[in-house]
Amino acid sequence: MNATSSASPGPGQTWRCGLLIFLAVLALSAPQAALLPLLDRDEPHFAEASREMLQSGNFIVPTFNHEPRYNKPPLIYWCQALSFTLFGENAFAARLPSVLATAATAWLLFGWGVRFVNKDAGLIAALAYAFCLQTAQQGRVATADALLIFFMTLTALTGWRLLELTRCTREQKETAPSQQGNWNFWGTLLALGFAGGFLAKGPEALLPIIPLLIGARSCGKPVLASFVAILLLGLFIASWWGIPALIETQGMSEGVFTRATNPLQGHGASTFGWYLLGVPLYYPLWAVFGALPLWPLLVTHRKRLFGAWNPDPMDTYLLLNAGIIVLVFSLMATKLPHYTLPAFPFLALLLARRWISAGLSPRLPALLAGGVGIMLALIAAVRIPVALAHHFNPSPTGELVRAAQADQTLTPGTEFALVDFKEPNAIWEMRRISESYGQLIPESEVIAFLGRPGPHAVVLSAEVWQLLAEKADPTWKTYGTRGWSTAKVWDAQKGDFAFIDLTLVVKP
């Protein structure tokens, strides 16, 4: 694509360019998504819940290790279950819905930029979002965030398109009859975007509605009423899952409201004072860091970009969307860097509009963002295999399972337990072979558990097994490996990465 052409392409060329961007983001995300095992706690939680949903046939209430998992709506599980059906139960299939959602968000930004500025703005916005560091980290993982961002962007885009169609002035407060067909089309997309966001992660999908209703309010009561009706349609679509889920669970617990009031898994301030300090600092700092590599351009070209900037209605709309997201998540007790990521599509498009309006050459941001995307893909393709070969395996349980599978000691009928390594990744990896659910047992019960009738297996640290090995039956098989515990990441006492020596003991 010619990144220096300022002419807006025709509809056919727009679709072709958008498809190329979509495929480019997809291809450059593939090495990271395909080569890395599932990381941390979130990815195996989502992936295992999707596998259990597929196995049980219950597509209403997700479970993890046969226990209800209420803290996320089901859309990501539905998508992952479909991906598992098509591509098998593996890390790439678990991440594929997120990769597709990230590529689709870039495609939306390209189309939005072309529609409201030109092809250059669309290209800059798409690449700036797809290849910033935050997206490279979170837009390719097996969680619900990428889906939420896609639907929030779709909601904001379609909402702005509806506001544009009203051609609202103080004298004209109703949509022209000739525009009714377009209103129906974009209104349906808005309802689907809102419903999709709600099914992806819950009430966060309401955030793009606030700027939309502010804009609709200035257009008059008939337009505002139309938007409210569209949003009610979106809630009605989401209720097809929500009502059966509430009935089956008798009211679901743990979710966004818990995260808003209580820091989960240590991701938040321990005192109210630290919480107040984090409100103005935590997310803005992470937003600046995560927006690399393009944010330095805002500094080096700040005079031309913002010296005579008089924000137009669309600039205000984009800023309002981004600002509300940053503000709301800054006020939540649970704080994670990627919570700012839904604001990035709006900031990327705002940067693109300002860059083109200031008369700057689009070549620099387009080449910088695209070059970073290519570089990250090459690093992933080279460094990940090297790291895995040098015991930086973030899934040591997976390595143990593959070794036992090669010996045919693990079977679908093997019951298994976890002792002192009770990470979700161990459940995900062991259940690739075993059809049972993982039990959590103390080290004092290991020998008795393995001695039960039938095939049994235990995952525990090598240190604990050394204390128990003398009581083991000589017919039991043991497998050992060293890996990296990504759930812990860093061992502060040793001043090194959190390596762990794991042992898998199998009684065939």
Backbone angles phi, psi at 460, to 5 degrees: -155, 170
Backbone angles phi, psi at 224, to 5 degrees: -60, -40
Q: What is the DSSP code string of 6-26? A: -SPPPHHHHHHHHHHHHHHHH
Q: Identify the three-state secondary structure at position 404.
A: helix
Structural tokens at position 138: 């979170």
Q: Identify the three-state secondary structure at position 450.
A: helix
Structural tokens at position 354: 């300002």
- The CA distances from residue 211 to 119, 150, 310, 349, in Å, are 25, 17, 19, 16
**DSSP single-letter state for residue 293:** T
* Cα 360 to Cα 423: distance, rounded to the nearest angstrom: 50
* Cα 362 to Cα 2: distance, rounded to the nearest angstrom: 10
Q: What local confidence, expressed as pLDDT, does residue 297 receive? A: 84
Residue 279 near residue 286, CB atoms below 8 Å = no
pTM of the model: 0.90
Query: What residue type is assigned to position 362 of the chain?
Result: P
* Cα 438 to Cα 357: distance, rounded to the nearest angstrom: 58
* Cα 84 to Cα 338: distance, rounded to the nearest angstrom: 26
Q: What local confidence, expressed as pLDDT, does residue 238 receive? A: 93
Structural tokens at position 404: 């036992």
Q: What local confidence, expressed as pLDDT, does residue 400 receive? A: 95
- Give pLDDT tens digits for 286-327: 555 566 677 788 888 888 988 888 899 999 999 999 989 888
Q: What local confidence, expressed as pLDDT, does residue 335 receive? A: 62
Residue count of the chain, please give it.
508
Residue found under tokens 């800054």: 330
Query: What residue type is assigned to position 355 of the chain?
Result: W
Radius of gyration over alpha carbons of the chain, in Å? 25
Q: What local confidence, expressed as pLDDT, does residue 165 receive? A: 84
Select from 125, 146, 130 the least CA-distant residue to 26: 130
Query: What residue type is assigned to position 71 of the chain?
Result: N
Select from 135, 139, 141, 133 the least CA-distant residue to 45: 141
Q: What local confidence, expressed as pLDDT, does residue 9 receive? A: 56
- Give pLDDT tens digits for 410-420: 999 999 999 99
**DSSP single-letter state for residue 458:** E
Select from 106, 85, 84 the least CA-distant residue to 95: 84
Parallel/antiparallel/unpaired status of strands 415-418 and 439-440: parallel
Give the residue ranges of the chain where pLDDT is below 70. Answer: 1-12, 167-181, 251-292, 332-337, 391, 491-492, 495
* Cα 309 to Cα 303: distance, rounded to the nearest angstrom: 9
Backbone angles phi, psi at 262, to 5 degrees: -135, 130
Q: What local confidence, expressed as pLDDT, does residue 381 receive? A: 93
493 Cβ contact list (under 8 Å, min separation 6): none
> End-to-end alpha-carbon separation of the chain, Å?
59
Q: What local confidence, expressed as pLDDT, does residue 398 receive? A: 93
Select from 193, 155, 131, 109 the least CA-distant residue to 324: 155
